[in-house]
Amino acid sequence: MKIFLLYFLFINVLVFIFAGYDKSQARKNNRRVPEKTLFLMALCGGSPGLLTAMLLFKHKTSKTSFIVKFAVILVIQAALIIAYLNYKK
């Protein structure tokens, strides 16, 4: 369980940093972090970190296509958690 929690902390901090860096790069009109990278990290457990970065940095919050794709990831993760909790009973 400790390893899972450390992984969860690591992936969330990492995606938060990547999203902050992407926002910084966007302001400077420099090379950006690909959305696929942010989505992959979110899918691998970094959704809370990405959501926090989106709200804190106001990053990607007005891009509808990004929000829809991110919402799909959240729904998939919620369904998996619910299925796991029901299976565990």
Look at phi and psi of residue 59 and say left if phi exceeds 0, alpha if psi is from -120 to 50, else beta.
beta
pLDDT tens digits along 35-83 = 999 999 999 999 999 999 999 999 999 999 999 999 999 999 999 999 9
> How far is Cα 67 from Cα 72, in angstroms, rounded to an integer?
9
Annotated domain spans of the chain: 2-88
Stated pTM of the model:
0.90
